[in-house]
Structure 1
């Protein structure tokens, strides 16, 4: 079943097919550069996917040559005219989008078929899984224009550790997808000819082989580990464990496992 909401957006496109929502950054002529309107549309699309029971997995990709080249030039020009409060509100909108993706109830997969730079690399950083073509360059170039990779630093330190984060954020260098994979910045490198099918296969397997509640709670577990002292993290994990045992999907899954039945989620 295909729900196509492409017409409701100007800077992105959104469609749902076979329980996979595909969110596409759709400004190929601007290398999918971010501006305030695109950030707002992305928030709307991720909210829509979150509320739609027909969606189990979300794929984020870019139209054309680039995944996302960072902030739009016009947008950067506008930021220079803004007051501090306007810039703070703008930055907080991007913060909300990043948190929304990072904490989303559904698994979010980045399909990176071109360069992901600055804010574009930030989007890749917060996805649960990410697959990039070998030609893709990734990096955070903010310091080179006198800016700072403020929001992404919070997520990158969690993802790659402090050493790698310092290296990438301070040098502003771009690295190839293969190196990004060894850094733990992306999950895997996939040839361009195969990436569509590969990501679709991963998304389909998540839909068919894992319970929606299990994916949601597992994301919560991973997301909260670094926020709590060890004992508190373990107590929270134990409570989530106990609560999950009572969930209908868990009962169904264990029953099928005990009966050696194949279960389609």
Structure 2
């Protein structure tokens, strides 16, 4: 499928979705929002894809909302604003809920909604020169649609600060807070992303999907009898499944599992 604001490529078992509006620092508008939703929905249904990389062209990762799109929003009715916000919320959810692990390849600055894109990903590899900012309050706005993802990534206390101050912070701070998984030089960026993607693809694909879902389902929940029973049932199903049996057998027989062929 051809996209106006994205590039989509598949190399082996890894798909790469690239934001491709470098002239506006990959700021998103209604077209990019719709195309990201479409791309991640399609990749969710592809069994040949084991991991997804979310990348960006140019020097910035994503500057947030496009200025021309924001000008249009100023004239929207309440219903139109609500519908527009829901499209953004569904796009972020399509990344977060993608049944493949998503690696953010952060090549530069990420502001406002761009931080939402990053926070919706599972693994974030960023250049050590990148800067981050939740800048909405400067414009009299709030980072509402991205909040569920950013608060999970930054934590409540850091989110209180950066939501309200709209301060910039550097990559070292983003790494310390947990938003960034790996902070690397520009020269190391691609190699690091490729190494992580290869590691993901070497694991059982059904197990990887189940692991991602497990974290989303368990994080922040009360440790009670229902959770204990649920987690026991999950491992029992995996053990009894074809992939689980093949994984254990290949380990005992000291051979490569079938999913690596």
TM bin, normalised by shorter chain, reads over 0.9
Matches within 5 A, 1:53-202: 53-202=47-196
More off after superposition, 24-33 vs 152-161: 152-161
| Residues 38-53 of structure 1 aligned to structure 2 (within 5 Å) | 38-53=32-47
Taking the aligned partners of 1:53 and 1:182, their CA distance within structure 2 comes to: 35
Contact kept in structure 2, 1:116 and 1:137, CA below 8 Å: yes
Per-residue deviation, 1:251: 0.6
- Secondary structure in 1 matching 2:64: coil
Give secondary structure in 2 for the equivalent of 1:213. helix
Which runs of at least 4 in structure 1 moved beyond 3 Å after TM superposition? Answer: none
Alpha-carbon offset, residue 171 of structure 1: 1.1
Matches within 5 A, 1:1-20: 5=1, 8-20=2-14
How far the C-alpha of 1:234 sits from its partner, in A, is 2.7
Q: Report the number of matched residues.
A: 258
Find the aligned partners of 2:154 and 2:26 in 1 and give their Cα distance.
25
Q: CA deviation at 1:227?
A: 5.7
Q: Does 1:259 align with 2:233?
A: no
Measure, in 2, the Cα distance between the counterparts of 1:104 and 1:31. Answer: 25
**Could you give the per-residue CA deviations for residues 108-128 of structure 1, whole angstroms, max 9, x where no partner exists?**
000000101000011001100
SS of the residue aligned with 1:130?
strand
Alignment-derived partner of residue 238 in structure 1:
232
* Gap regions ≥5 residues in structure 2: none
Q: Distance in 2 between matches of 1:169 and 1:216?
A: 31
Q: Is the 1:224–1:233 Cα contact (8 Å) retained in structure 2?
A: no
Contact 1:113-1:136 at 8 Å conserved across structures: yes
Question: Equivalent residue of 1:185, what SS?
Answer: coil
How high is the TM-score relative to the length of structure 1?
0.94
Q: CA deviation at 1:158?
A: 2.1
8 A Cα contact 2:89 2:146, kept in partner:
no
Contact kept, 8 Å, 1:135 with 1:176, in 2: the verdict is: yes
| Change beyond 3 A, Cα 1:64–1:51 | same
* Deviations, residues 71-107 of structure 1 (Å, cap 9, x unaligned): 0000000111111111111111111111111121100
Identify the residue that residue 229 of structure 1 maps to in structure 2.
Answer: 222
| Residues in 2 aligned to 1:72 and 1:123: alpha-carbon distance in whole angstroms | 15
Give the conservation status (yes or no) of the 8 Å contact 2:65–2:113: yes
- What TM-score do the two structures reach when normalised by structure 2? 0.95
- Structure 1 position 48, deviation (Å): 1.6
**Contact in 2 for aligned 1:113/1:132 (Cα 8 Å):** yes
SS in 1 for 2:146: helix
Match of 1:32 among 16, 19, 26: 26
1:220 and 2:195 aligned: no
Query: Any idea what SS the aligned residue of 1:81 has?
Result: coil
